[in-house]
Structure 1
Amino acid sequence: MSLGHSRAADRPFSWRSAAGRITAGAALLTAVAFLPWLSGTDPALTVLRARSADQDPTPAQLTAVREQLGLDEGPFAHLAQWLGGLVRGNAGASWVSGEPVLPQVTTALAVSVTLMLGALAVTAVVAALVCARTLYFGSRRQLRQKRVGVGAAVLAALPKFLLASVLATVCGVWLGWYPSQGWEGPQSMVLPALALGVPSGAMIGGLLDQSLPAAFHEPWARTWRAHGLAPGRIARTALRRALSGVLPQLLPTVVALVGGAVAVEKIFNIPGLGRLSLDAAIAQDLPPLQTATLALILLGVGAGLLIQAARRALLGPALRDGALPVLHPPALPRSRSLPWAMGFCALALLTLVVAGLLRDPLHVDTAARLLPPSAAHPLGTDSLGRDLLARLGHGALRTVGIALAVTAVSALVGLVIGAATQLGAGLTEVVSTLPAVLAGLLTTAVTGPSVLGAACAVCLVAWTPYAAQTAALLEQERASGHMLASLSFGAGPAYLLRHHLLPAVLPAMVRNALLRLPTTVLVLASLGFLGLGEQPPTPEWGRLLSENQPYAELAPWTVLGPATALVLLSVLAISGTATGRGPRRRRTAEAAPA
């Protein structure tokens, strides 16, 4: 970990960061090239089944496919051939359909980028609504207590595929406001953009809402208020100050809106890049999978460079001159409603879990399929007649335990990699382009479908938001006047690490991890839904949502129980971020903002 201020960190591009991007991109493309050979199945058999759905091909047919595709040459020969074709503007042909790959990927990328822009617009609006109250009262020096962002927690905990199903059914089928299927024009973008943007906006808005009080309590804000400056100007400057630390969280969000929106694209029948990548990976159709992965890598690197440039534009010369004031949360008193909210959520969650543990989660009663809630079945039954309360209770410890372990490992890895500023930045940008579904396919090829494989797959990609946050916070801390003063007095690495760097990073990272805990549960659920994670009939909250999603219109209670449990968990997590008092602020002499 570099403890001092680095001039290389002042530039959005450097040779070390470029080397990190190239190395990480090459490693990712190589891993994708090995997918057909890592899966343990004959690639010729998988391709032949994808072509004709023939479950029992003859040896002669398999031999013909191997000779046609040159599978006996191995993955390196195919990777070299594909890269050589890219130089000439040819990405090869699909192993399944035989059609040229480049037009398919280009069309899918255009669709996904258009959908991403719409989702980003929704994200910005939702984030602004989440933090509007803090902006209003903070600029007028009326921010007196910490509050619980229950609305943000509920929206952030909404499963995107479940929200997509509800929007498609209600706004598309029942009301007929917008198309519920296909991609025919701007109207087709509205519902999927809402499904993707509302949870993402709640996540970004929640992080920003927790950073704004620290900006409003900086010396420049007190000075400006004492001189009678307009509250609107103070609010804009505080937003600019807090946004610089939250902005790196947009990188994994942008990529997730393009390559990770597989479930939403399937529900709305959108021919996007995420759906193309998943279909190619399942069929082991290597040319379109490699080309789509390269497109995601280039998109992630481009978005990372733009975000870095935007941060430097927001902070101005303070990063270079060491004039950045300290940004630590103020010691605000807790809201009176905070203990009540935490107690209610904890009691409700505990009641559901204990009541469920007293029932049999595996008992099947086909005569009691899709029964509504009753005294015998308080949460109703699923499509097989199993008691949903029992499955919810028995899946609680497994669901929350795995999600906590994945979150802890991801945060620790992100802290270490984010501290290596230049090489870490390139690695973060590239790995953030890898959808969790594709990571699940890669790990499943080695470990087989299991909860361990799904957890490893999520860990492979879930560290990137923490690394981006660590790099941004460390960059600001190194540019602060008090740290430069400590360096001038001869402070050693251990002192800087203990008194400057870790206090600047750990509180914000813990809040980020708690906010992302329900999202981790949902990502694990999506892998289980695709057969890459927890296998049935094991009860697990995410799997309950996934397997009951087709019945959401006919029997909404089948998804209401696990969705409520996720919301309670999310509110409890976000309440935990507001319980602690902020660290005592160091007295600084800065009177002007960055």
Structure 2
Amino acid sequence: MKPTATGSTRVLCLLGVLTAVGLMPWLSGKDPALTVLRARSAEQEPTKEALDAVREDLGLDAGPLSLLGSWASDLLHGDLGTSWVSGTDVLPSVVSGLQVSLGLMGAAFGVAVLLACALVAPVLLRGRRSAGAWAAMLAAMPEFLLATVALLVCGVWLGWLPTSGWAGPEYMVLPAVALGVPAGGLLGRLVADALPAVLDERWVELWKGAGVDRRYIAVAALKRVLPPLVPQFGMVAVGLTGGAVPVETIFAVPGIGRTALGAAKSQDLPLLQGSVLALLALGLVMGAVAALVRRRLLGPALRDAGLALPPVRPVRAHPAVPLALGALLTVAIGWGLLRDPYAVNTAARLTAPSWSHPLGTDGLGRDVLARLGHGAAPTVGTAAAVCLLSLLVALALGFLPGVAAGAADIANALPPVIVGILVAAAAGPGTGGAALAVALISWPPLAAHAAALVQEVRASSFLTAQRAIGATPLWILTRHVLPSVAAPVARHALLRLPGIALALASLGFLGLGAQPPAPEWGLLLDESRAYVERAPWAALAPAVALALLAGLAVSGAAYAQGRKAARVVKKEAPVGV
């Protein structure tokens, strides 16, 4: 694939997204003039004269295509237009929000890197096999729940840090921790999962025998592990900015994500277009930086010779880990399925856990255990379907790196909230629309991982030997390339299953996903957020369930792949061994 294919795909996807954003007021089926009038003055009567005045002022009578063309023409001259609601220039608002989000992104990414180093250190220095389910559980912690708990504990109860606003460095601590902990768990798990394969290579044993200092070996191992994972670091960095809308909302942080959400709700089209354009530009820049860092890590010799790192193989897990996690989830879900999730008892509101209500009750007196059990199917089932679809798309696009890279840059720069708004505008809010929105933007990390592994497997010496002995391309693809790529990418997809569930939950949190009274786990978190200080068990139940789901997904995949690797070794061992 020529380099120009990536640029062409990127431009086409960019134009498609901006066109969809420009048509959003008309896709919703609502009168844009009515929405803008209510945003400007909620008390003003929506008379025909008032609506006609708004249409004339905004040029709505010209139609959506004319407005989109005018905006594109002004954009070429550096003008993002004027806000439909406030009447001020859009550019200063976008720049201000982007600066805030960049500061928050930098702080959160620093927290993520520190946490990832703590998770990787035992594997790198002490020879432990993996960070295990702990990292996956951290990756599955909901950002908005962490933000709420941090606000209550550190801000309200202890009074250590401010709880809202953006007036100094101390204001970014709590939001950065809430965003950085899940990202650090994800990055630490990816690196720790790849390290054992490198540490088992022959050169490590030779270096140890030669007396090379362990620190030099650790640095060399990291240099071999990081290149395939650098794109993931870049995507996580962008995700910290674009996907932080709930956290920015909880802490009243005036970031670009919160600006875009507010503009979408008020249908302030120029401000929404400018915010989305800023997010896309940030995604393109971070993608280019990640590609540059990866090339520098590979070095000129590997890059110019077409050589790369060997594909990593998954580590093994003890069978007791997935069995224990699966048993806990099964018991909780099965017990909850025996109860009524919709029975309301206002006399038993926010009661503590007891024998009659093992996990307590929520704000309406409904049994939390019952809602947890009945919410497993819509939560896990929908996330699993999205995860499988993302995996299939990623494996297909892994062999089309030019197309995948261009589309991934655009898709990864869009947070689920923005895509959810666009989908909900056309199809209405609901579980199906939320699933489609998450599916549209969940494949880029997997596709980048698959593309990097495909490149490295194709450049390996054993494939050169296979071609030399006359192996057909189909044989090489099905017997060598796909098995080497599919296993780690499938494990990566399982690792992202709880994250996908949380993305669906965040859309429900913002009113774009599952609707009340559905017992969906993300909706349970949202409903319990208002009284988390009085009844923390209502929020902890779905949060712990998501964490157990993460541990089960990762440890189960590790155990399955470890069993498969053991069978291959046994099959290929000489007779009598």
TM-score range, shorter chain: over 0.9
1:483-494 map, 5 Å: 483-494=463-474
Aligned pair partner of 1:475 in 430, 447, 455: 455
State the match for 2:286 in structure 1.
Answer: 303
| TM-score where L is the length of structure 1 | 0.92
Local SS of the residue matching 2:398: helix
| Matches of 2:404 and 2:222, distance apart in 1 | 27
CA offsets 1:139-170 (integer angstroms, 9 cap, x no match): xxxx5xx5562321221111100001111111
What do the CA deviations read for 1:63-94 (whole angstroms, capped 9, x no partner)? 11111111122222222211221222221110
| Amino acid in the other structure paired with 2:26 | W
Secondary structure (helix, strand or coil) at the match of 2:53 reads helix
Q: How far 1:411 sits from its partner (Å)?
A: 1.4
User: Number of residue pairs matched?
Assistant: 564
**2:200 maps to what in 1?**
217
Once residues 329 and 168 of structure 1 are traced to their aligned partners in structure 2, the CA distance between those partners, rounded to angstroms, is 40
Q: Pick one of 504, 508, 511 that aligns with 1:528.
A: 508
Identify which of 326, 337, 344 aligns with 1:357. 337
Q: Which residue of structure 2 aligns with residue 188 of structure 1?
A: 171
Which residue does 2:558 correspond to in 1?
578
Distance 1:80 1:489 in 2: 58
SS in 1 for 2:371: helix
SS class of match (2:86): coil
Where do residues 194-213 of structure 1 align in structure 2 (5 Å cutoff)?
194-213=177-196
What secondary structure is seen at the aligned counterpart in 2 of 1:93? coil
Q: Which amino acid aligns with 1:262?
A: V
What corresponds to 1:341 in structure 2?
321
Other structure's SS at 2:558 match: coil
* Alpha-carbon distance change, 320 to 490 in structure 1, aligned in 2, over 3 angstroms: farther
Partner of 1:37: 26
Provide the residue aligned with 1:3 in structure 2.
none
Cα deviation for residue 489 of structure 1 reads 4.0
SS in 1 for 2:212: coil
| Conserved? CA contact 1:381–1:558, under 8 Å | yes
1:66 to 31, 40, 55: 55
1:178 to 151, 156, 161: 161
Once residues 358 and 271 of structure 1 are traced to their aligned partners in structure 2, the CA distance between those partners, rounded to angstroms, is: 45
Alpha-carbon distance in structure 1 between the residues aligned to 2:124 and 2:130: 13
Q: Which residue of 1 aligns with 2:305?
A: 321
Match of 1:233 in 2: 216
Q: Is the 8 A contact 1:21 1:301 kept in 2?
A: no
Task: Name the amino acid aligned to 2:226.
Answer: L
Give the CA deviation at 1:251. 3.0
2:477 aligned residue (477, 497, 509): 497
> For the structure 1 residues 363 and 325, does the alpha-carbon distance in structure 2 shift closer, same or farther, using more than 3 Å as the test?
closer
Q: Report deviation, 1:39.
A: 0.5
Q: Superposition pairs for residues 50-449 of structure 1, below 5 Å?
A: 50-54=39-43, 57-138=46-127, 146=129, 149-316=132-299, 317-324=301-308, 326-329=310-313, 334=316, 338-449=318-429
Identity %, equivalent residues: 49
Partners of 1:325 and 1:249 in 2: how far apart? 16
SS in structure 2 opposite 1:372? coil
Amino acid of the residue matched to residue 69 of structure 1?
Answer: L
Query: How far 1:53 sits from its partner (Å)?
Result: 1.6
Alignment partner of 2:533 out of 553, 559, 564: 553
- Per-residue CA deviations over 1:299-322 (Å, capped at 9, x if unaligned) read 111111110111111112224314
Unaligned residue ranges in structure 1 (runs of 5+): 1-5, 9-13, 586-594
Q: Which amino acid aligns with 1:72?
A: D
TM-score, normalised relative to structure 2: 0.94
CA distance in 2, matches of 1:559, 1:497: 47
More displaced stretch, 350-359 vs 95-104: 350-359
Question: 1:47 offset after TM fit, Å?
Answer: 1.0
State the structure with bigger RCO (CA 8 A, min sep 6), 1 or 2. 1
Which deviates further from its counterpart, 121-130 or 220-229?
A: 220-229
SS in 1 for 2:352: coil
In structure 2, distance between residues paired with 1:554 and 1:297: 41
SS at match of 2:413: coil
State the Cα distance separating 1:16 from its structure 2 match.
Answer: 2.1
C-alpha distance in structure 2 between counterparts of 1:489 and 1:298, whole Å: 47
The aligned counterpart of 2:14 is: 25
Cα separation, 2, equivalents of 1:95 and 1:147: 53
Give the direction of change, closer, same or farther, for the CA distance of 1:64–1:55 in structure 2 (3 Å limit): closer
Contact map agreement 2:123 2:130 (CA 8 A) in 1: no
Post-superposition shift, 1:490? 4.1
Structure 1 residue 488 displacement after superposition = 4.0
Change (3 A) 1:490 1:47: farther
TM superposition outliers: structure 1 runs of 4+ over 6 Å: none
2:436 paired with 1:456: yes
CA offsets 1:194-235 (integer angstroms, 9 cap, x no match): 110011010111011100011112333233233332221111
Structure 1 partner of 2:573: none
SS at match of 1:45: helix
Distance, in Å, in 1 between the alignment partners of 2:466 and 2:33 is 63
RMSD: 1.7
User: Which residue identity does 1:502 align to in structure 2?
Assistant: L
CA contact (8 A) 1:322 1:484 kept: no
C-alpha distance in 2 between matches for 1:365 and 1:325: 60
CA contact (8 A) 2:424 2:433 kept: yes
- The farther-off stretch of 48-57 and 405-414 is 48-57
Deviates more, 1:148-157 or 1:394-403: 148-157
| 1: CA distance, partners of 2:24 / 2:84 | 14
**Conserved 8 A contact 1:148-1:574:** no
Alignment partners' CA distance in 2, 1:491 and 1:306? 38
In the TM superposition, residue 487 of structure 1 has moved relative to its aligned partner by 3.4
Greater shift, 170-179 or 316-325, is seen at 316-325
Q: Deviations over 1:513-561 (max 9, x none)?
A: 1111111111111111222111111111111011111211121111011
| Stretch deviating more after TM superposition (303-312 or 501-510) | 501-510
| Aligned twin of 1:542 | 522
| 1:223-248 Cα shifts (integer Å, max 9, x gaps) | 32333322211111111111112211
> Is the 2:120–2:131 contact (alpha carbons within 8 Å) kept by the matching residues of 1?
no
Equivalent in the alignment of 2:545: 565
Counterpart Cα distance in 1 of 2:397 and 2:266:
34
- The range that moved more, 239-248 or 14-23, is 14-23
Q: Quote the Cα distance in structure 2 between the aligned partners of 1:108 and 1:17.
A: 29
Q: Is the 8 A contact 1:419 1:467 kept in 2?
A: no
Aligned to 1:517: 497
Distance 1:41 1:378 in 2: 45
Compared with structure 1, are the counterparts of its residues 524 and 23 closer, same or farther at alpha carbon in structure 2 (3 Å cutoff)?
A: same
